Every structure is written in C-alpha cells, then in structure tokens.
Amino acid sequence: MIRPRNRSRWAAAGVLSLVAVAACTPGGDEGGGEGELVWALGGSEAKPGGVHQQVAQLWSEQNPDTPIRIEVLPDEADQQREQQALELQAEGSNFDVLGVDVIWTGEYSTNGWLESLEDVRGEIEEASIPGAFESSTWGGELWAAPYNSNAGFLYYRTDLVDEPPTTWDELCEMAIEIGEQENIGGFIGQGSRYEGFVVNWLEYYWSDGGELFNEDQSEVLFDVDTATAATEWLAEAKESGCLAPGFNTAAEEEARNEFQSGNVVFMRNWPYAYGLIQEDQQSPVRENFDIAPLPTFTGEGTISALGGFNNAVSAFSDNKEAAKDFVVWAATNEEVQSMLAEDAVPPTMQAVYDQFADDPVMSLLGEVLAEAKPRPPSPQWNAISVEMQREFFPAYNGEGDPAEASQAVQEFLQSTVE
Amino acid sequence: MATTSTDTKRRPGSGEGAPGRPRKKEMSETTLGKVFVAPAILLMALVALFPVVYAFVISLQAYTGRQREGFAGIDNYVEALTDERFWTSLEFTLIFTVTSVAAEFLIGLGFALLMNQAFRGRGVTRASILVPWVIPTVIAAQMWFFMFNVTPGFINNVFGLGDFSWLGQSGWASFAIIFADVWKTAPFVALLLLAGLQTIPEDVYEGARVDGAKMFQRFWYITLPLLKPAILVALLFRTVEALRVYDLPQVMTGGAFGTESLSILVQQYVVRTPDPGLGSALSTITFVIILGVGLIFVNFLGKELVIGGEGENR
Amino acid sequence: MSQPATRTQAKKRGGSQGVVEQRSAAQIWGKSTLLLVILFWCLFPFFWLIMTSLKKGDRALNSPDLFQGPFGIQNYEAVFQQDFLLNLRNSLAIAGMTTILCVLVGSFAAYALARLPLKRKILLLSAVLAVSLFPPVALVPPLYELWRTLGLLNTWEGLYIPYTSFTLPLTIFILTTFFAAIPKDLEEAARVDGASPFKAFYRVIFPLAAPGVFAAAIIIFVSAWNEFLLASTFAPRNPEIAQTVPVAIAAFTGAVEFQRPVGTITAACVVVTVPMIIVALLFQKRIVAGLTAGSVKG
C-alpha cells in the first residue's frame, strides 16, 4: 500500500508478509489414540519429570491397552478449575480423569460432571486417610478417589525457641518477646486475602472447638462467639506485633521467603517449604529450624486444614471403566502412593506414612493428617470462602468488627443450606 | 451495531447534497463508503455481537450454581444494584479511572513533547519510554507487587522506608495500584500524542514565531487545540480501559482494602462463584456505565472529526 | 504526489530545529535532569527485572538488595528448555496477523468515516466503540462454546480473529482522527488530476497519515502480544500449536507445588521484552520520521 522507500520498510513488509503467508496454525496431534486416557491436572509435578508423570508412565506400562496421558493445566487452582469447567460445561470428552481439588467435589458432582464411585467405596475408604476420604464425598456419595493430601505445619527457629508452643497465645507471647530481642518479625502465615487466608483462619477457629456444618452438611453448626474470639485474637496479634509486618499481604511464598531469610520466628506453612529451606545453602536458618504440629487454643492436640486433590472420573469420558480402574489404582496401590511420598508429595494412603517413619516431614505429616479436617466440599464452597475473606479479612485488619463479621458469615452459611 | 449496518445499507443515495463538491458522483461515493465500512462492521459483529446478546439473554435468567432455573426478568439487575459491593467497587473503579487517566495524560503529554524534539540520546530515551508498556500486564502487576510488598521490600529498601506496608492498608493500596497503572500505560498516551504532534503542519508554528509568541503560548494556543482529536482518542480509550481494570488490583491486592474493581466483581460471579445470571447482569451494567462515559467522548470527538470533514453529513 | 512530500518535509524541518535555536545553558541542564528522572522512572523496574532474572535460586525474592548474588544464567537456560521459541513464534504470528488485519480493514472504515459521505457517523462511531466495551471475562463462556463448535480452539485463527474484532474500534478511532486531520485540498488536488477516491486514499491520505497508522500498528501489535484472558482460555496449552508468550510465562512452575519460579518468570519477561522494544522502535521511527525519512535525517 505504501510505496517502499527504504530498506527498513522493505524489511518490515517482508516480515509482515512472511507472517501473513504462515498465518495458518501448524498442525499438532489432537486427542489420543484409541483407548488412551487423558488425565487433566495442574502444577509442577504434572510436568515432564514430575512424579505424576511417573505414575502415568507406570500405569501405561502395566495397561498398554488403556495408556494414560497427562494434560497439564496451569499452576493456579482457579485457572485449573476454569479450564476443566469450560470443557465439562460443554460436555466434552477430552478429559477422562480429573484432578479435583479437595474443595471442588460438591460443585463438580452437583453439576453432573462426575461419575459416581460408590461401587468401589469399600476399598478406597479402607486405604485412605479419613479426612481425604471425606473430601471426596458429597451428599453421602463417593465422587473421587483420594490421591494427594496436604496439611499445615508450624515451622520454628531452633536457635531461638527451645520448645515449640502448643497454644496460639503462647506462640504470640514467644513471638513478641523473641522478635523484640532479635529485632525480627514474629509469626507469619497466609494472611493475604485469598483462599489460603481462609485455611489459616479455619485452623484458628477449629482449634478452639468451632465447626462449620454437621456431618452430612445439612445443618449449620457455626458458632458466632468462637469465630469472634478467633478473629479478635488475630486482630490483637496484629496490633501487638505478634504478626510479622508482611502478614496481611503474604501467601505461601512470601511467608517462606521471610522465614528462609531469617526474618521471623514462626511460620505456618505446608510441608513443601521444608525441603526448599534445607536446600538453600545461603539461608541463615538452614540448620536452625524444625517443624511441629500447629498449636491450638486449648493446648490439646493439633488441627490442620487439609489440602491436596483427588482424582475423579469425568461423566463425559468415553472410557469410564478404564478411567475408574485408574483412579482406584492410584488411590490404593502402595507402589504409586510410595512414589509420591518419595518425591515429597504427601500421599493419601495411611499405610504409606508408616513406612516413612524415619522421614521427619512424612512422619509428622502422618501424625497431623490423622487429625486434619477438610474444608466442607460444598457446591457453594467458593462462595462461602469469598464471604469469609470479605468479612474476616477487614475485621482482623482493624477495618471491621469481628462480631459483626461472624454474624454475617453465620447468616451466609445458613443461606447455603436452605 | 447490526442495526447501524443495515441502516446504512437501506439508504442508497442518501449522501447527496454535500455542498461545494460538484465534481463528484455522490452515488458512487456513498456506496464506496459503505463498501469501505462493511468489512470492519462484519468482522466486529461476527465476534462481538453473539456473546453480548448471549450475555444479555443470560442476565434475564435465574441460576443456581451453573444450573438454569427459569426466567428471572430483572431480578438479577435488582440484586446487582442493591448489593453494597457493587457500589463500593464502582466507587473504587471511578476513583481509579479519574486519577490514573489524569496522571497518565499529563505524563504522557510530557513524554510526547520530549520525544518530538531533537536532542542527543533521543533514540535511547524513546526506547526507554516504551519499555513499561511492552511488558505484559500480568507480569507487570506481579512485578509491582514484589516492588511494593513489605517482603522483600524493594521500594522500601531504595527509599529507606523500613517496613512500610504499601499494600497492607487502605489508601496506600489504591495508591500503589494507580501508580503501577500510570507507569504501565503513560507510554500509550505518549505514543498517540506523539503521532498527533507529528501531523501538526509546521507552517502554523512559523507564523506564530514571526508574531513573537512565547513557547508556552505556542503550546497553549496552537499545539493543544490542534492536538485535541488525538488527545480525545487517547483519553477515550484510556478511560474505557481503566473502567475495566482487572489484572493490577487482582494480582497486587486481590481486591483487599477497598481495591475491588467492577471487573473483579464480574469475574467473581462469572468464574469463581459461578452465577451466570448475576454475572451477566453485572457485566451488562458495567457495559452500560462504560458506554455512557464513552459516548460523552464520542460526542466531543464527533464534533472534531466532523469539522475535519467540513461538516458534511453529520 | 510531489505536493504532500514537500509539505511534510517543511513540517519536519521546522519541528526539530525550531526548538534547538532557543536553548540556553540552563535549559540544557534542566532538560538533562528531567531526562535522567524519566529514564529512572521508566527503566528502574526493568532493571529490577534484569537483576532478578540473573539471581540464582531463591535469592530472587529473599533479598531486597539488587546487587546481592550469586548470579548466573540458569534462569535463561530454564526458559529455553521449555519450548519458549515456539511460544514466541505463535505470539509473533498472532500479533502480526492481528496488526495486518486491523490496519487493513480499519483504514478503509476510517477513511469512509473521515472523508466519505456516510449518514449518522456519530451513531456509527458509537456502535464501533461499543464493541470493545463489554467486560471481556463475561464474553469468554459464550465465545468458548462458539469456538468449540467452529473448531477454532487451539488455533491461531481462534485468537487473531477476536483480537482483530476487539482492537478494530481503537484502530478505527485513531485512523479516523488522523485521516480527518489531513488537509482536504491535497486530496482534492489529486482528484482533479483524475484519481478515483480509492486512489486518492492510498496515494495521498494513507502516506500522509503515516504517523497515525504506525502508532496504531504498534498499539495493536503490543495489545495482541500481551493479551492474556482469551489466549489462556482458547489456547491454554501446547506451545507447538498456539500457546502464546504470556500464557506460557504464567504456566511456569517451580520445582514443587506452591513454589513460585520468580527467576524464570523474570528471565522470560526480559527475553520477550527485547524483541518488543525492537519492533516498537522500528514502528516508532515511522511515526516520527513520517514520509521523509529517506531524504531528511535528523
């Protein structure tokens, strides 16, 4: 269109016409061969070299007729869910096995996206940790097979703390005292406004005897006073300097960085941080930290919110039988579950933890997971979580009243069961 | 949009009577005009029309989760408009838009005036000015999170502010988001205005210089008026973009401390806690608000452009 | 044809030299300081990106000190182990196609709006604007269904077609403004010589509006290049097919769950920013130089 007058314009035109000529999508192999299963899950371990890939390979070797291939979804849970949801909403058969976060079970099954696993309930229940099993059920029915679990630890500095605290109040006393002495922050966890904050908050609330729902999740057992007390404790911890300065903008990685750099005394985090801190040659706390169960308000026992994901069979799969065989196998096969443990990915099979009694992380996990509680996998969990974030986050940051916040959450929970 | 396109098609020969141009065949020019506009209209209608109409239809339905329950009439709109969260996010969105667009305009204009001049090292300067804008927004947002956040605290470190929590308190959280947006998009304004400056005929300045006009007077009485169409386009598109801001507040604060934008609210009801009816209603309301603001600009701009086109066929 | 050329030439000369005449020492100092401030403002975060991308392991976020090592190029190696060149290819093709289509289709429409006798131009402009205003996130579910039916998921077309549609409004507005600003007598002169409106458009208007056209082109290219929402929904995976750069960067993971690979992300960001700066500079030269770059160097 423009008459070319110099070389750079020629070059630009050349590049553009090249692009124009090449503007059809290069071919890629879509879909698998006959009988091939597709396992849609996200995260680093699903990538080439990750432990889930090894699990898939093991299955494919043993079942050459129905090999399985991983479709790697994004790292972030919200995006994994959205990509699965778009496919399932369109009733697409591209995914056979779904990696379903422990909080999505209710939503997926209510939408009719999952195949019931009731007929294999017995063997799965027998093999799995109770909390993980509970997170796979909704409405009294089994919709997924537990696969990968998780729970929170208290990380503490062995050079500054002799005995880890057993109550949250004790933790704050120590955090303030030692923090002032050493001129570092006290306690850090997941305090930013996102799902992780709800997990942390629930750990305070549950450890004071609070509950959300009754067993079959038909009735609200939310206790406004306990919730208010937990939120007030957190608000006070923030005021008194028990919480490290970056607490209310910290997610997992911000917390780990603070602890790993020696800037805090205590940290609430998942087991993944343990290995990373130990590997970091320059970390001042590399040899000066340990892990303990999370404190409670009563000083008795420990309680942690349960994380991880379960495997479910898509209701739109063309190969449901094989897919079902796979999820049962992944949940109950000791070799598979041990592979996870060896890669520091927490398994869900009770028996495996006994084998790893010498491993500090796995042995503590085994202990903590026995007491871990899943967040209720209600179809409305995301809405409940958003509501809790909107109410409790400002309340602990001095921009809302803890009692009013608890009242509002109570009403919201009530509205979800009606 | 479809209405408009059929509209123009139904009126053959409607362009006659443009004064002062007796040589031309009006019929063919009008037809040519339609032929020229048609591909663009078609392409836009093809992609945009269906989803917008679809969203509007959905907004009139009642949903529980993703399951449709029946016709809801305007219930979703009532629910959206009576929700306090809608109004607080609207408030933040408006404050964000006004402050960030104003700052971007001033800084962008400054950049453009600078880029328009000849000086040593201007190549480097021009390249530098464009750097912020070519960084993908998602990454820029993460980067500013790391810069502002207490941990590790790059900005606090550079300015010796200790543990000042930019993102962890009301007010400053909004400031940080606006700051990041201004940093990111001032170059966009600069580029458009630079192009505008380039098309101002230089003889206008020559005349003024002979008259002894000072630099500021030249700028105020000559540059600015001639730059007006480019300014309006830049402001228009910055404004409608800013009204739909999503990435920056989502990544930097997750909407905490009063930084929840309208788009974050829409995203919540479309994706996170799916309620297609309410989500679509919120989208439609957002759309109407933005369109309203946009039309004000278009009106001004239309006058400018019609003057450019010598007043024919308003 | 000779007329426009002389005109811009005159314009160019005045544009740069008029200001030079009047400089005093104080102005030069003031200007240099201002320049330094601007460079710091624009480049400090980018400098942060570069330094962070060169840090090894967890140092990237542990220390606010930019110069604390150890440094290495591991992050860059990691980036190129992940098919990143394929992502670059996809992004280049998609953004390139978007730019070509937008400028082509958009300039015809803009010419008609600026010059030809169309009825209800304001209404037309409003309708054009409206296209780009719906919250994108709400457009995704219906478009996904449509794309699925049409088989456009995981294709280049599936991305550059919607990008073109959503960027056309901006293109049309920019180009209309610039076309309308061109003195009408030039076109009239060409028409007297017997040129058709079509010829007058691409011989006279289009070249004269070059600054606007190239400004539009850069803007289109960059916005298509950086788009995330549609790209991550319509082509979320498979670099060998259509996954674009921002989606690939967002898909980077650490060695274990939760770990955020800041080093790799920043390295990838530096890698994609460099070609973008080159593209932007190439186009931008056209904006500033206008038609006469060949004859007047300045």
Question: Among B65, B66, B168, whose Cβ lies nearest the Cβ of A249?
Answer: B168
| Cross-chain residue pair A257–C145, CB shorter than 8 Å | no
Reduced to 3 states (helix: H, G, I; strand: E, B; else coil), residue A266 is strand
The reported pLDDT for the residue numbered B289 is 95
Residues of chain A above pLDDT 70, percent = 92
Amino acid at A364: L
The reported pLDDT for the residue numbered C63 is 75
| Cross-chain residue pair A82–B254, CB shorter than 8 Å | no
Helix (H) or strand (E) holding A268: strand A264-269
Does the structure show a pLDDT above 70 at A17?
no
Give the A-side interface with B, CB within 8 Å: 78, 82, 85, 89, 107, 110-111, 192-194, 245-250, 254, 257-258, 261, 263, 379-380, 382-383, 386, 390, 393-394, 397, 399
**C64 vs A238, higher pLDDT:** A238
Q: What is the pLDDT of residues B256-270, one digit of tens each?
A: 999 999 999 999 998
Chain C nearest-CA residue for B121: C35
Chain A nearest-CA residue for C250: A74
The reported pLDDT for the residue numbered A401 is 96
Q: Work out the pLDDT band at B14, boundaries 50, 70, 90.
A: very low
Question: Among B66, B169, B254, whose Cβ lies nearest the Cβ of A192?
Answer: B254
Mean pLDDT over A148-162 rounds to 96
**Selected residue of B126, B128, B150 to mutate for chain C interface (largest C Cβ count, 10 A):** B128
Q: What is the pLDDT of residues B227-249, one digit of tens each?
A: 999 999 999 999 999 999 999 99
The reported pLDDT for the residue numbered A245 is 92
Under DSSP, the state recorded for A313 is: E
CA-based nearest distance A248→chain B, Å? 6
The reported pLDDT for the residue numbered C22 is 54
CA-based nearest distance C118→chain A, Å? 24
Tell me the angle at which helices B122-134 and C210-226 cross, rounded to the nearest 10 degrees.
Answer: 40
The reported pLDDT for the residue numbered A404 is 97
Average pLDDT over chain C, rounded to an integer: 82
**A75 vs A118, higher pLDDT:** A118
Question: Among C92, C259, C285, whose Cβ lies nearest the Cβ of A276?
Answer: C259
Pairwise CA distance, residues A368 & B91, whole Å: 45
Does the structure show a pLDDT above 70 at A8?
no
Question: For residue C207, is the peptide bond before it cis, meaning its omega torsion is within 30 degrees of 0?
Answer: no
Pairwise CA distance, residues C289 & C108, whole Å: 23
The reported pLDDT for the residue numbered A25 is 61
Chain A nearest-CA residue for B164: A245
* Neighboring chain A residues of B271 at a CB cutoff of 8 Å: 78, 82
Maximum mean pLDDT: which of A7-21, A277-291, B112-126: A277-291
Does the structure show a pLDDT above 60 at B27?
no
Does the structure show a pLDDT above 50 at B5?
no
Chain C nearest-CA residue for A91: C145
Interface contact B270, partner A, CB < 8 A: no
SS3 assignment for chain B: CHHHHHHHHCCCCCCCCCCCCCCCCHHHHHHHHHHHHHHHHHHHHHHHHHHHHHHHHHCCEEEECCEEEEECCCHHHHHHHHCHHHHHHHHHHHHHHHHHHHHHHHHHHHHHHHHCCCCCCHHHHHHHHHHHHHCCHHHHHHHHHHHHCCCCCHHHHHHCCCCCCCCCCCCHHHHHHHHHHHHHHHHHHHHHHHHHHHCCCHHHHHHHHHCCCCHHHHHHHHHHHHHHHHHHHHHHHHHHHHCCCCHHHHHHCCCCCCCCCHHHHHHHHHHHCCCHHHHHHHHHHHHHHHHHHHHHHHHHHHHHHHHHCCCCCC
| Cross-chain residue pair B151–A379, CB shorter than 8 Å | no
Q: Work out the pLDDT band at A133, boundaries 50, 70, 90.
A: very high
| Cross-chain residue pair A379–B272, CB shorter than 8 Å | no
Q: What is the pLDDT of residues A198-219, one digit of tens each?
A: 999 999 999 999 999 998 888 9
Pairwise CA distance, residues C124 & C155, whole Å: 31
| Cross-chain residue pair A26–C241, CB shorter than 8 Å | yes
Q: What is the pLDDT of residues B113-123, one digit of tens each?
A: 888 887 777 77
Q: What is the pLDDT of residues B167-184, one digit of tens each?
A: 999 999 999 999 999 999
Average pLDDT over chain A, rounded to an integer: 90
Question: Among A19, A44, A72, whose Cβ lies nearest the Cβ of C254?
Answer: A44
pTM of the model: 0.88
Chain B nearest-CA residue for A379: B65
Does the structure show a pLDDT above 60 at B7?
no
The reported pLDDT for the residue numbered A26 is 60
**C33 vs B121, higher pLDDT:** C33
* Neighboring chain C residues of B233 at a CB cutoff of 8 Å: 173-174, 177
Interface contact B249, partner C, CB < 8 A: no
Q: How many CB pairs under 8 A join B and C?
A: 359
Chain A nearest-CA residue for C57: A280
Interface contact B133, partner C, CB < 8 A: yes
| Cross-chain residue pair B163–A254, CB shorter than 8 Å | no
CA-based nearest distance B144→chain A, Å? 13
Q: What is the pLDDT of residues C81-140, one digit of tens each?
A: 888 899 999 999 999 999 999 999 999 999 888 888 887 888 888 888 998 898 888 888
Q: What is the pLDDT of residues C250-294, one digit of tens each?
A: 888 888 888 888 888 899 999 988 888 888 778 777 777 643 333
Pairwise CA distance, residues C275 & B134, whole Å: 10
The reported pLDDT for the residue numbered C289 is 62
| Cross-chain residue pair C182–B199, CB shorter than 8 Å | yes
Q: Work out the pLDDT band at A359, boundaries 50, 70, 90.
A: very high
* Neighboring chain B residues of C214 at a CB cutoff of 8 Å: 195
**B198 vs B144, higher pLDDT:** B144
* Neighboring chain C residues of B287 at a CB cutoff of 8 Å: 130, 133-135
CA-based nearest distance A381→chain B, Å? 8
Q: Poorest-confidence range of A22-31, A120-129, A345-354, C141-150?
A: A22-31
The reported pLDDT for the residue numbered B272 is 87
CA-based nearest distance C93→chain B, Å? 17
- For residue B112, how far is the Cα from the chain centroid? 18
The reported pLDDT for the residue numbered A184 is 94
The reported pLDDT for the residue numbered B13 is 38
| Cross-chain residue pair B43–C273, CB shorter than 8 Å | no
Which backbone phi and psi does A280 adopt, to 5 degrees? -80, 100
Interface contact B31, partner A, CB < 8 A: no
Average pLDDT over chain B, rounded to an integer: 84
The reported pLDDT for the residue numbered C61 is 73
